[in-house]
Chain A
Amino acid sequence: MQIDEKLISRLEHLARLELSGEERAHIQGDLNKILDMVEKLNELDTTNVQPLVYINEEGNVWREDEVRNQLPREKALKNAPDEDGTFFKVPKVIDLDRNDA
C-alpha cells in the first residue's frame, strides 16, 4: 500500500487539515513508512477472530436520564475564541459560491 498525493489530499480534507507543501511531503513519507511497518499484521491469520472492541467486559451501568452537571452560560462561554455574551460566534456558514461548507 502506497499513499499517493491524491490520497493525502483526500485524508487532509477528511481530517480537516490543510498541510503546507513541505509538511505534506513529510507526512506522506512518514505514513508510507508506518504502513510498511503495519504490513506485518498480514502475517497473522485472523480468519474468524472477533475484533476486540471493548476492553472493560462489564455490562452497561444504567442511570436515570436526568439533566445534571450543567454549566452556567458565562462559564460555558469562557473558553470561546469568539462570543457575544449569549452565543458562540463563527464566521459566515452559508456561502453560495462554495459548496464544501
Chain B
Amino acid sequence: MPKYSSLQQVQQALHSGAESCEGLVSYYLQQIEQHADLNIYVEVYAEEAKEQARKLDQRFRENPQAPGRLHGMVLSLKDVLCYEGHGVTAGSRILEGFESQFSATAVARLLEEDAIVIGRVNCDEFAMGSTTETSVYGPSRNADNPDYVPGGSSGGSAVAVQADTCLASLGTDTGGSVRQPAAFCGIIGVKPTYGRISRYGLLAYGSSFDQVGVLVNSVEDAALLLEIMAGPDEFDSTSSQTPVPPYSEQLDFAGKARIAYFPTALEHPSLDPEVRAASQQLIEQLRNEGHTIEAVDFDYLDYIIPAYYVLTTAEASSNLSRYDGIRYGYRSGDAHSLMDTYKKSRTEGFGTEVKRRIMLGTFVLSAGYYDAYYTKAQQVRRLIQEKTLSILEEYDFILIPAAPGTAWKLGDTVDDPVAMYLADIFTVQANMVGIPAVAFPLATHSNGLPIGLQLMAGKFEEARLLAFLHDVVESVTYSRQ
C-alpha cells in the first residue's frame, strides 16, 4: 500500500501540519533508494526537489491560503518529456548528455501549480517497446515480481507509482504505453483524447498517435492532473480548442451507463482465461447494478496491430530523421564525411528496436510501396475509426481487457518482435481512433500479478469516463478486495 494514495490525503496531512513537502520528498527519496534494484529512475533530482520542497513549505507557513493546486504533488517524468535545464534522452544513446532548453507544456503547467519533480524515469527507447527492455539503461522491473517486466513503454513511470517512489508519473501513450504498464503494475493509467494535451516538448514517436498520459493511484489525481495539463497551446497546432471541463469537480456519475463489449475480444485466442473470467465478472456486476452492458460486433480487432505498425513506423522514420549527429545528440567519432556522420552516428546511437522500426517505416513510405502499405493502412484506420465511433454513438463506453494477459518474464519477447507487437491488441484501438481510454486494476491473477481492464469513451468524454471509473468501477472493484 502506498503511504498516500491521493493528493487529497497528502494535502490533508499538509494542512494539519502532520506532513511537510520536505518530509514528503525525503520519504520518496528513501523509497527510490530502497527500490534501486528495480531500475526505475534514469536520474533523481534529490537536492533540487528538497530545495523546492523547503521553499514551498516556507511559503505555505507564511501564507497557508494560497498554495498551488498541486501543493504536495511529487511527480516523476518519463524520459521523453522536456524539463528545462534537465536531461532528456528517450532511453537512447543518441541523446546522451542532451539537456532540455525548454519545458514541455504539460510539464510547465504542472510546475506552475507547485508540483515537485523528483526525477525522470526509464522507458523503452523512443517509447518503442512494450516492456521497457529496449532502454539503453537496461530494463526496469515489476515491483510485484522483479523477474517480470513492468510493461512499456512507460514502464519506469508505472513502477515508480507501484513502488511508491512518487505520487504520480507522467507517461506518454502511442499505442498503449501508459495503459498497458499501468495494468501490469496494478495502478490506474489514463490516455486522454488525441489533442487534449499539448505534445509540445514531448519527443515525437508517432505524431498522429502520441498523447501525454498519467499513471496514478487514484482517479481524483488523474482528473486533477489532466485538467491542469489539458487545453489549447500555441506551440502545438494539433492541440484541441475544445474547452476543458473541471474533471476533478465532476467525478459524480449520475444515472446508468450504456456499455459495449466485444465478444471478438473476450473470445480472442490470445486472451488469458483468468483475464477473461475477470472481465466477465465485471460485466455481470455492472449489469446487476443496473447498467446496460451488451455484446457488440467488432470485426476489425485483428487488423488493428498490422495497420498500427505500418502507420507508427512510417511516422517514426520521419520523426527520427532529426537525429543526425549535427546540432545535438551523439556524433560518431569515426565519421569523416557528412554522409558518414549521419550514417555512423545514427547506427551507433540507435538501438535495434528503433532501427527495426525506422527500417520498416522507411520501407512503407518508399516509392513503389507507399500505396500498398501506407495508404492502405490509413484507409484501414478510417474503417476502424468509423466503426468505433459509431459504436460510441450508441454506447457511453467500451469495456475491453488492457492486455491479453499479465506481465511476462524479462527476456520473453526480446527475440520475437511480432509477439510483442501483438500483445498491444487491446490498447492500440484508442490511439488509432484518437479517443480517451483508462486502464484500471481489477483483480490479481493466480500468478500473483495484477489484471487490468480498460474503458474507452467517445472523443472528449474524459469527464464521464473518469466519473464512471470513480463512482461505479472503483466501488465494484474495491468491494471485492
> Are the CB atoms of A14 and B362 closer together than 8 Å?
yes
Residues of chain A lying within 8 A (CB to CB) of residue B366 = 10-11, 14
Chain A contact residues, majority secondary structure: loop
Query: Residue B363 at the A interface, CB < 8 A?
Result: yes
Q: Which of A19, A63, A81, A100 contacts B328 (CB 8 A)?
A: A81
Instruction: Report A-chain residues with C-beta under 8 Å of the C-beta of B340.
Output: 91
Is residue A78 within 8 Å, beta carbon to beta carbon, of the partner chain? Answer: yes
Q: How far is the CA of A56 from the CA of B242 in the complex (A)?
A: 11
List the A side residues contacting B324 at CB < 8 Å.
16
Count class of interface residues, chain A: 35 or more
User: Whole-angstrom distance from the CB of B210 to the nearest CB of chain A?
Assistant: 10
**What is the size category of the interface that chain B forms with chain A?**
35 or more
B356 close to A95 (CB less than 8 A):
no
Interface membership of B61, Cβ < 8 A? no
Please give, as numbers and ranges, the residues of chain B lying within 8 Å of A3 by CB-CB distance: 363
Contact among A15, A18, A79 for B317, CB-based, below 8 A: A15
Name the one of B305, B338, B344, B356 contacting A93, with C-beta atoms under 8 angstroms: B338
Would you call A46 and B338 a contact (CB within 8 A)? no
Residues A35-94 near B (CB distance < 8 A): 37-44, 46, 49-56, 58, 60-61, 63, 69, 71, 75-76, 78-82, 88, 90-93
State whether A38 and B373 are in contact (beta carbons under 8 Å apart), knowing that A16-B342, A55-B434 are contacts in the complex. yes
B344 contacts across to A, CB distance below 8 A: 18
Mark A residues whose CB is within 8 Å of B.
3, 7-8, 10-12, 14-19, 23, 26-27, 30-31, 33-34, 37-44, 46, 49-56, 58, 60-61, 63, 69, 71, 75-76, 78-82, 88, 90-93, 95, 98, 100-101
Q: Find chain A residues with CB under 8 A from B330 CB.
A: 81
Contact segment of B221-229, B258-266, B374-382, B466-474:
B374-382
Q: How far is it, in angstroms, between the C-alpha of A91 and the C-alpha of B324 when the chains are bound?
A: 13
In the bound assembly, the distance between CA atoms of A49 and B337 in angstroms comes to: 45
Residues of B within 8 A of A23 (CB): 352, 355
Interface class of chain B by DSSP: helix
A18-B344, A56-B240 given; A75·B379 CB < 8 A? no
Interchain nearest-CB distance for A13 vs B (Å): 8
Q: How far is the CA of A33 from the CA of B97 in the complex (A)?
A: 35
A48 to chain B, nearest CB (A): 9
Q: Indicate if the CB atoms of B338 and A90 lie closer than 8 Å.
A: yes
Contacts of B362 in A (CB 8 A): 11, 14-15
Distance in Å: Cβ of A75 to nearest Cβ of chain B = 6
Q: Is B66 an interface residue (CB 8 A)?
A: no
B267: interface (CB < 8 Å): no
- The answer to whether B355 and A17 have CB atoms under 8 Å apart is yes
User: Which of B99, B341, B382 is close to A90, meaning CB atoms less than 8 Å apart?
Assistant: B341
| Closest-CB distance, A93 to chain B (whole angstroms) | 5
The reply to whether A101 and B356 contact each other, CB–CB distance below 8 Å, is: no
**Pairs A-B, 5 closest by C-beta atoms:** A51-B378, A81-B331, A79-B328, A46-B379, A52-B382
Residue in B195, B359, B373, B422 whose beta carbon sits within 8 Å of that of A15 in the complex:
B359
With A52-B381, A75-B101, A78-B101 given, is the CB distance from A16 to B346 under 8 Å? yes
By the criterion CB–CB under 8 Å, are A49 and B356 in contact?
Answer: no
* Residues of the B chain whose Cβ atoms lie less than 8 Å from the Cβ of A34: 309, 360, 417-418, 421
Which residues of B have CB within 8 Å of A27?
A: 352, 355-356, 359
Partner of A41, one of B194, B306, B331: B306
Residue numbers in A under 8 Å from B337 (CB-CB) = 91-93, 95, 98, 101
Is B480 part of the binding interface, using a Cβ–Cβ cutoff of 8 Å? no
Which of B11-19, B173-181, B230-238 is near enough to bind chain A? B230-238
Q: How far is the CB of A92 from chain B (nearest CB, A)?
A: 6
Instruction: Decide yes or no: A52 and B379 within 8 Å by CB, A60-B237, A61-B241, A82-B331 being known contacts.
Output: yes
**Nearest B residue to A28, CB-CB:** B359
- Is B36 part of the contact surface with A, judged by Cβ < 8 Å? no
